[in-house]
Amino acid sequence: MQKGVGSIVCLIESADGKYILKVPLSLNFAEGESEFLEKWASIGVKTPKIFETGTIGDHHYLVMEFIDEPTLLDKYSEEQLLEMEVFVDLGKTLRRMHEPKAEGFGRVANGKAEFDSFNEWISSEEI
């Protein structure tokens, strides 16, 4: 379907419907994506439903709901978006997305953050 900077995204069509297979290209930052989406959904942010997660070789993958809608920029002009106050709604959504708290810092591995403290993370060789 498309290849972005960070993922390969495939449309899967079956007798049951259409689904998205997303395979993040980075081996380092992919594992926590489904947790982020599920956490955001739990506070009311509309996200695609996750049907399955797993690995293909060393790469994590997500199978999720296909939402057949144009992007806001494809559907409306910038003037229309301003009139409809879409950017205000996006700001409110962004604020909600930052409400959930997590424990630790850095990459997620086996459901746990890589570092226990901010100082540990910022002092690491990666940073």
Domains of the chain listed by start with CATH number: 2-122 (3.30.200)
Least confident stretch, 12-16, 57-61, 89-93, 95-99: 95-99
Cα 116 to the chain's mean position, in Å? 23
Least trusted range by pLDDT, from 32-36, 72-76, 116-120:
32-36
Question: Which residue, 30, 32, 11, is CA-closest to 20?
Answer: 11
- If phi > 0 it is left, if psi is from -120 to 50 it is alpha, else beta; for residue 43 that is alpha
Higher pLDDT, 122 or 65: 65
Q: Quick check: pTM over 0.85? A: no
